[in-house]
Amino acid sequence: MVKVKVGVYRLGHIGRLVMRAAFNFGKVDIVAINDPFIDLNYMVYMLPYDSTHSKSHGTIKAENRKPVINGNPITIFQEQDPSKIKWGDAGAEYTVESTGVFTPMEKAGAHLQEGVKKVIISAPSADAPMFVTGVNHEKYDNSLKIVSNASCTNCLAPLVKVIHDNFGIVEGLMTTVHAITVTQKTVHGPSRNCGVTAAGLSRTSSLALLALPRL
């Protein structure tokens, strides 16, 4: 069986879960990681753990300046500019763009300069085609080089589709009860869009509002 070879940009929560899913699925090889903010030892320390999905199975260790997962060595890059990541040298054909920063097509397209065939954005994009399984996945065209898998919209969109297809929706109000995100503070301090999360539920914005109408 020929496995799809994938590189992951940014080993945050989503990046780590993508890697975990890939190894559990068995049909995807993670061949490279790019993260300019953490070193090898910290990668190896973080990879086995997730506060929601518990500890992963398998073996993870550092060897010859690479993380080795279940016996598979993974190439590390530490570039901030996507156009400078040598994905092709590591054999990556697809890139998971999970920084939440390079979401417009022009910025995400920088990954394509180093041998990558396709880019999957893990957050809503203002202009990239977005697909959610159970909503519009059948519209996916294999010629597309950059796509978005939306975000937490994936939970709400299938339910909204059923209601809209059968009864029609004129207007709606969405409330997301979400884990703490990078824009929320855990201690008192100035914040542009929310209060202190540690003190209780706080108001903030959601990119799901960008994705849902486009789906």
Residues composing the chain: 215
Distance CA 164, CA 99 (A): 32
Q: Where are the beta strands (DSSP E) in the chain?
A: 4-9, 28-34, 60-63, 66-69, 72-73, 75-77, 94-97, 118-121, 146-148
> 155 an active-site residue?
no
User: Choosing from 28, 60, 101, 152, which is the catalytic residue?
Assistant: 152
Backbone angles phi, psi at 134, to 5 degrees: 90, -5
Closest of 6, 8, 25, 23 to residue 57, by C-alpha: 23
Distance CA 91, CA 116 (A): 9
Distance CA 94, CA 73 (A): 18
Residues annotated as catalytic are: 152
